[in-house]
Structure 1
Amino acid sequence: MRHHVELPEILASKITKLEASLRSICEYDGGNVVLATSFSAEDMVLTDALVRWDLPIGLISLETKRLHPETQTMIARTQEHYGIKVDVYEPEPNAVDEYVTTYGLNGFYDSLEARRACCDFRKSQPLRRALIGRSAWITGQRREQSLTRRQLAEREIDATHNMIKYNPLVEWLWTDVLDYVELYRLPINPLYARGYVSIGCEPCTRALRPGEHPRAGRWWWESATTKECGLHQNLSPVDTE
C-alpha cells in the first residue's frame, strides 16, 4: 500500500495535469502506446504514474551494452518494485562488430560522426525495432534539460517512426521531479547520489562539477548544441489549434 503524502500545491497541480495527459493518450491512441524508459528519474516518475493509475501503457528500454552497472540493475529493480515487465532491446551483434572495425571500440571520442554512428546502432536502430506496430511513444524529456530542448512540445509528430511522440513532463522542473521521487519514495539510479544528473552510456557520461548545467555531463567533449543521441529527430510540434 502506498503511504499518504501531502503534496505541495504546484506539484499537485502538475500531477493532476499529468494524469489527465496520460489518460488522454490512452484514449486517443487505443492502448498500444509505450514509454521508452532509460530509468532516469523522469522516467521513473512516469513509470510510477502509469502503475498508480493502472494505465495500459507498456515499457520498453534500450540496453546499449555500454550502460553503467547501476543502470543495468534498474531493469530488475523496476520490474520487481512495480510488478511489471520491461521489454528490453539491444544492438545487433554484427552492428557492434562493424562499428569496432570501422572506428574502434571507443572511437566516439574522436569525431562527431563516430559518436553519432555509435548512438545510431546502439540506440536508434533498436528503438526502431521496439516501435514496430506501436501507435505512439512517450518520453520523459523536459524543456529545462538542455539548449536543444527549449522548444520541446508536449505532442510531436515523429516522422522517423510515423507516429505521435508525447512528452508529458515537458513543463516539469528538475525540482518537481526530485520532489515527486522523494514524496513517493521511488527507486532511482544510485548514480544520482554520486553527482550524475543526465545519465547515458558509461563512457559518455560523467558526474557534474559544481555549477555545471545538467547536461554538461553528457558528451562533455562536444558543443552544447550537438548533445543529442539521435532518438529525437525529424520531430515537429502537433498543431493544437
Structure 2
Amino acid sequence: MSATAPGEEPGPHGPLPARGEPATEAASDAARAAELRLLPVLLALTVVSGIIDAVSFLGLGHVFTANMTGNVAVLGFAAAGSGEFSGAHALVSLGAFLAGSAAGGWAARIFAGRARRAWLRAAFTAEAALLAAAAAFSATAPETAAATEYTLVAVTALAMGLRNATVRRLGVADMTTTVLTMTLTGLAADSPLGGGRSVRTVRRVGSVLALLAGALLGGWLVLRHDLWLPLLIAAVMSGILVPTVSGRV
C-alpha cells in the first residue's frame, strides 16, 4: 500500500490528488461530485435497511438481518439464558450475512475492470431479487413453520451482507446504510457542542432519519399485515435503484 504523499488527502479509494494542480484538482472535484450524487441512493438503501430489520426483529423471532452489531448482542443474550432471544436465529443470520458479504467482495473484484455502474447495477439487482424471493416465499410458505422463519432470516441477511460489502467498497463517509453508531458519534463529536464545525451534518442527520423512517414504516406494516408486504416494498425500492444508480456514478 502506498503512503499518502505530502499535499494529498486520504480518500476512500486511496489518496485524493493534491490540491493546486488543475488536472488533478478537477479529478478530485469530479470524485466529490459523484459521491454527492450517490447520497440519495444510499439514503434510500438506509430506508430499506430499516424495513428489513423491522421485519426480522418484529416478525422473525427478535433477530436482526441488517444490523449485525445487534445480532452479536442477541447471541450473547441467548447464551446467557434469555428466553426472548434465539441463538439459532442469530447464528443463521450472522452466517448468511457473512456469506453475502463474501459474495459482495467477489463481485467487486469480478467487476473491477468495468464501469462502476455495471458493478452497482449487478449488486442492487441481486439485492432486489433476494428480497423479492423472500417476499414470495413469505406469501406462500406456512407462517407457523420454523423452516419459514429460518429461510427468511437467511435470505434477507444474505441480501444485506451483499449490500454492506458493496457500500463498504464505495467508501462514502457516514453512509453505511445499516448501522448508525459512528454516524451518531460524529454528529455529536463534530458539533459546536463538541468543539467541532458540524462536518457532514446534513448527511448524518439524513442517515438517522432514513433508518428511523424505514423502521417506522416496516414496523407499522409488520404489526398490521403479513410479512410479505414490507418485504415486497423493500424489494421494489431496491429494484428502483438499479436504473437510478446508472446516472449517478
Same fold (TM over 0.5): no
More helix by share: 2
Q: Give me the TM-score of the superposition, normalised by structure 2.
A: 0.28
Q: Give me the TM-score of the superposition, normalised by structure 1.
A: 0.29
Q: Rg larger in 1 or in 2?
A: 2
Higher relative contact order (CA 8 A, sep 6+): 2
